[in-house]
Structure 1
Amino acid sequence: MYALPPPETVQPEPPHLPPHDLRYDPAQQAAAADLRSQVVRRLRAMNAMHAQHAWDRRYADPLCPFGLAFLYYEPDPRQPLYTLRTGTRLFLLADAPAELPRLLYEVAHQAFTLRQQGGDPYTTMTDRRDDLSPQARHLGVGVSSLDSRWATWPQIQRTADGVTDVPGRAIAYLDDGTSLLVDRGARVQYDEVRIRSTQTLTTAMDPAPLLWSFASSVEDLVDAQDPLGRQGVIDVFRRLADLHRAVAGGA
């Protein structure tokens, strides 16, 4: 893991999330919404697999409750749609910070350093990845978390009878400014899935549209009783935006 700079060199916190950079044609709104929907589905699946792996390994080489996804897109043969490509990484519990913002902070520094040295974070910092075509562009970054809106991962391990009792959460920041929060309930929550987004996920091209709610801002993505709290969610999205810029090669 990249060593953090000494405290005196750390820059002050920005008061707001950084401005976003739209990297695909804003006129293609339906294709953009379809791409966001692909992100939600991919992160839901990643979170479910993360829960399975973490549950199976909870007594031997336990996993960190946080995993990362680097998100890319490329032209789809079914123009004008895009195809989502992802690279993911899970961490051993012993190798990662206990707090999600700290993990994102450290990984962003690692990605930035790799870029400065001419490296590629996608191939270097992921342990599973899709092949990318020369047309692929960076879309954003996501997190799979086993600290959910209902309980923390340590609490779940003490009470769950199996992986069907493990809820989770997915969080994403995309290059067009979209912030996504997906809560995946377990059996006790009747497998409820709640999706919130600051940009539309609805398109007539989707044969099975997602059920989702609109949030006008990052602060509105989260309930007041959420264990992260509004300020905690803002901090996660700030760190995700920093990681996105580092992976994409921005300043």
Structure 2
Amino acid sequence: MDVTSEFRGAVVARLRKFSVMHARHSWQRRRRDPLAPHGVALFYFEPSARLYDQLRTATRIFLADDEATSLPHLLYGLAQHAQDGYNTDPRFDPRTAMANRVDNMSPYAIFAGIGVVTLDTPHGDWATVQRGARDELDLPGRCFARLIDGTMLLIDRGGEQQFNAMTVQCSIRDGNAQYGTPSMQWRWNPALAETTEDDPTFHVWRWMSELGRIIDHGSRTR
């Protein structure tokens, strides 16, 4: 598939919505059945849909436990799950085996990439931020996306203390940059593709890439 500027824009909008809803549910449940600070999205391209409606997603949020605390380890575990699933079950489908919410999509939908939302941000980790927040509107969020064409997107969504601003860093030049507004600015950042091991996001990108590779390969051989 050809990943268009419109599709990347739809991915950003979907992750923003996912991030806001995840923050809301995490805030409401912080003292009862708490959620992990991370959620995962699988992106699919629906070829029969209109240009601005081709994105489909399967998403998952997690209950808080030791395995879901570290985002890189969570992604590593999902990659292992996907690899085992494709190796042992001819009917394995990550949309049903690895997600708890799935958009309607046709059998022709094509896997398009991986997304992540997290409440661990440069403003503080979830455990720290929730103690100082007044309500869910105070909670910032961070999102990652890696698409099958190699596009990397890093999205920072501010809370009220950050004036609800949102920045989008993209590893390739993208036409969405011309639509930037004071509350959402796109920026070309090719350095995303050169992240090194001393960067705290390195293992997030690494295991997103591996999970995406496994699902892409598995879906093509079924």
Task: Give the gaps of 5 or more residues in structure 2.
Answer: none
In 2, Cα distance between the equivalents of 1:78 and 1:36?
15
Which residue in 2 is equivalent to 1:105? 76
Partner residue, 2:191 = 217
Matches within 5 A, 1:47-196: 47-78=19-50, 83-94=54-65, 96-116=67-87, 117-118=89-90, 119-196=92-169
Please report the TM-score for the alignment, with normalisation by the length of structure 1.
Answer: 0.78
Gaps of 5+ in 1: 1-23, 26-30, 223-228
Asked whether the 8 Å contact 2:38–2:68 carries over to 1, the reply is no
Taking a change above 3 Å as real, the CA distance of residues 148 and 156 of structure 1, as seen in their structure-2 partners, is same
Following the alignment from structure 2 to structure 1, what is the Cα–Cα distance between the partners of residues 142 and 198?
Answer: 15
State the secondary structure of the residue aligned to 1:211. strand
**Structure 2 partner of 1:202:** 175
What secondary structure is seen at the aligned counterpart in 1 of 2:62? strand
- The answer as to whether partners of 1:181 and 1:221 remain within 8 angstroms in 2 is no
Mapped partners of 2:176, 2:166: distance in 1: 19
Aligned residue number for residue 40 of structure 1: 12
Which structure is higher in RCO with an 8 Å CA cutoff and minimum separation 6?
1
Contact between 2:75 and 2:207, CA under 8 Å: does it hold in 1?
yes
Relative distance call for 1:220 and 1:194 in structure 2 (3 A) is farther
Structure 1 residue 78, shift from structure 2 partner? 3.4
The verdict on how the C-alpha distance between 1:59 and 1:241 changes in structure 2, with shifts beyond 3 A counting, is: same
Cα shift readout 1:45-95 (whole Å, capped 9, x = no counterpart): 00000000000000011000000000101125435x660000000000026
Are the structure 2 counterparts of residues 220 and 141 from structure 1 closer, same or farther at C-alpha, using a change threshold of 3 Å? same
When structure 1 is superposed on structure 2, of 57-66 and 107-116 the one drifting more is 107-116
Letter in 2 for 1:215: N
Task: State the 1:221 CA deviation.
Answer: 7.9
Q: Check the 8 A contact 1:72/1:140 in 2, yes or no.
A: yes
Cα RMSD after superposing both structures: 2.5
Q: Describe the shift of the 1:185–1:208 C-alpha distance in structure 2 as closer, same or farther (beyond 3 A).
A: closer
The structure in which a higher percent of residues are helix is 2
Q: Distance in 2 between matches of 1:76 and 1:82?
A: 9
Q: Secondary structure at the match of 1:132?
A: coil
Q: Distance in 2 between matches of 1:125 and 1:189?
A: 33
**Given the two structures, how large is their TM-score scaled by the length of structure 2?**
0.88
